[in-house]
Amino acid sequence: MTQDLSFIHRFEPGTSTAAPLLLLHGTGGDETDLLPLGKALAPDRALLSPRGKVLENGMPRFFRRLAEGVFDEQDVIKRAHELADFIAEAGKAYKLAKPIAVGFSNGANIAAAILLLRPEALSGAILLRAMVPLAKPPQAELAQTPVLIVSGASDPIIPASNANLLVTMLKNAHADVQHVTLPTGHTLTQNDVTLATKWLNR
């Protein structure tokens, strides 16, 4: 079923016509990582799960970073466009509606970059432990695109101020943002799954 496209990826067809989920893994993950999460969130939706093309000490990522939380912004821009192009390519190949991104950590950050740089590429986004991907993004128009951001109150990688700044950036671009901070760290919890499922079915 999975075709040969510009990103190594997994595609799992769905049984519903609801928007497919675009699963974007964290640092060191791959295209299989978030398939169980995708199935838990929406057992009936199609799942598209690419592998990040950047390697950091052998660990796949979606863009280069200079240090933890310090991003190579030129690479963020290049990779966000590359991934948005893949979304369009896969959409044609598999005859998919515009997907809802479900990103964790580095995957959430590339999804945030796509929202700001290629707002037409996604129909929504669930950003789990996301931070600001670009200090000065161009003014985007997200036209009420729904976005759920779930942060961890004791996340050692992402200060609350940074997550809040991302919320402001997306709201300024007229996204319909819901931001929830859970009493947890960077790792995903059952509460994330519960919240994201409710948001998808709202």
**Of 33, 49, 151, 155, catalytic:** 155
- Other CB atoms within 10 Å distance of the CB of residue 136: 7
Q: Does residue 75 have an active-site annotation?
A: no
Build a one-symbol-per-residue string for 148-187: x at contacts with ligand MLT by CB under 6 A, - elsewhere: ---------x------------------------------
Q: Which of 9, 50, 109, 182 binds ligand MLT (CB under 6 A)?
A: 109
Is 6 strand, coil or helix?
coil
**Is 186 known to be catalytic?**
yes
Non-local (6+) Cβ contacts of 151 within 8 A are 129, 130, 158, 160, 163, 179, 180, 181, 182
The Cα–Cα gap between 162 and 177 comes to 15
Q: What DSSP string runs through 129-170? A: S---S-SSPPPP--TT-EEEEEEETT-SSS-HHHHHHHHHHH
Distance, CA of 146 to CA of 142 (rounded, Å): 9
Among 55, 69, 74, 143, binds ligand MLT (CB under 6 A): 69
* CB closer to ligand MLT out of 96 and 125: 125
| 20 vs 107 by CB, closer to ligand MLT | 107
User: Per CB under 6 A, which region of 37-45, 103-111, 120-128, 137-145 contacts ligand MLT?
Assistant: 103-111
CA atoms within 13 A on the CB side of 50: 29
Residue whose CB is less far from ligand MLT, 20 or 50: 50
Partners of residue 147 on adjacent β-strands: 125, 177
> Is 155 among the residues known to form the active site?
yes
Q: Using CB under 6 A, which of the segments 104-112, 116-124, 136-144, 187-195 binds ligand MLT?
A: 104-112
By CB under 6 A, name the one of 68, 136, 139, 161 that touches ligand MLT.
68
- Annotated catalytic sites, by residue? 105, 155, 186
